[in-house]
Amino acid sequence: MSPKKPEEFELMRAESRGKILQSALTLFANDGYHKTSMEKIAKNANVSKGLIYNYYKSKNDLLHSIIMLGFSHNERLITEIGKETSPKQQLKLLINTIFDLFESQKEFYQLYSSIIMQPLVLENSRDLLDQIYKSIFDTFEMIFTNLQYQNPMIESKILGATIDGVAVHYFFERANYPLVEVRNQLIQKYCEKA
């Protein structure tokens, strides 16, 4: 049997990191951050606890990696929004994409919703989330400025709070939440009225 090539080792490392991240995401989202131990993550990922520590310094470091991965779509989204010339179309694209992500990345947004409701977990992730929020709110504010809202910063905070509230309620009510109708109302409110 020939020795493994460096590319093969890197592929194995990437697969291990992916299994660990997915295991942690699933457990954090379903069982909660505080109730999830590194041992439980390792067992669920079918890896050793020591292997997790090869990639992540702590459970909090693992959480930060999940947050960064979950919000990695932000830069692509902002680039796509920049291609639209109409501020209403930019806002419609933004709202639609966020609501699509609620469904396509349910575990991540379930975790995110629980993070914002847990002061200790939120505090440990504050710096990272502040960077992410700044990017999102700057985009909202730019759009509301171009739409000539009287106070674009306040309107961006209202829309952000609305979207966070939708996420919390959606993951609390699950199947009974009228996600499509709420999305349509937001689009009508911001993008279709004169």
Of 38, 59, 80, the residue that ends a domain is: 59
Kindly give, in sequence order, each residue whose CB lies less than 8 Å from that of residue 149, ignoring residues fewer than 6 positions away.
155
Report pLDDT digits (tens) over 148-172: 999 999 999 999 999 999 998 998 8
Mean pLDDT, all residues of the chain: 89
Considering the domain architecture, whether residues 22 and 106 belong to the same structural domain is answered as no
Residue range 8-35: mean pLDDT, rounded: 88
Range of the domain at 135: 71-192
Considering the domain architecture, whether residues 50 and 116 belong to the same structural domain is answered as no
SS3 35: coil
- Of the pLDDT bands very low, low, confident and very high (cuts 50, 70, 90), residue 131 is confident
172 located within any domain: yes
65 located within any domain: no
Domain CATH code at residue 39 = 1.10.10.60
Considering the domain architecture, whether residues 13 and 108 belong to the same structural domain is answered as no
How distant is the alpha carbon of residue 77 from its chain centre? 13
Report pLDDT digits (tens) over 86-105: 999 999 999 999 999 888 88
